[in-house]
Amino acid sequence: QVQLVETGGGLGQAGGSLRLSCAASGRTFSRYTMGWFRQAPGKEREFVATISPMGDTTRYADSVKGRFTISRDNAKNTLYLQMNNLKPEDTAVYLCAARDRYSTGPYDSTGPYGYWGQGTQVTVSS
């Protein structure tokens, strides 16, 4: 198993930046595809970004493409999400998630991700 803990959330201003981190412990971090999801009050959990185990492939939701960057440091067992040009609609709880190589299903679906952090709140003021 892998345990995930997010940090770095908080209050940001529209047009500003925040950087989220997700520290992993347990099984070998570099074996997992990692993802960021977010959930706003009263809304479904939605995909934000994903990154392959070695970091060579990334994918983004259209709503964050060009503004957010997902990255990872396997030596530090840490996943990152750099969020630039923040918008009020980015306000949500952000969760990191891990899926192992045996998981199947769309990269932007929550189902294939077997491990989740507790989430960190991001609030963007206008």
| In the predicted structure, residue 104 carries a pLDDT above the cut 90 | no
The string of DSSP codes covering 13-63 is ETT--EEEEEEEEES-GGGSEEEEEEE-TTS--EEEEEE-TTS--EEE-TT
56: left (phi over 0), alpha (psi -120 to 50) or beta: alpha
CA 50, distance to chain mean position in Å, is: 7
Average pLDDT value for residue range 36-48: 97
| Number of helices and strands in the chain (H, E) | 0, 11
114/54 Cα distance (integer angstroms): 19
Report percent pLDDT > 70 for the chain. Answer: 100
pLDDT at position 105 is 86
The answer to whether residue 27 scores a pLDDT higher than 80 is: no
- 51-97 pLDDT, tens digit per residue, is 999 999 999 999 999 999 999 999 999 999 999 999 999 999 999 99
DSSP conformational letter for 89:
G
Q: Output the CA torsion 120→75→16→64 (10° steps).
A: -80
d(CA 81, CA 89): 17
User: Between 101 and 84, where is the model more confident?
Assistant: 84
Mean pLDDT lowest among 35-39, 48-52, 70-74, 109-113 = 109-113
Q: How many C-beta neighbours within 10 Å does residue 126 have?
A: 8
Mean of pLDDT over the chain: 95
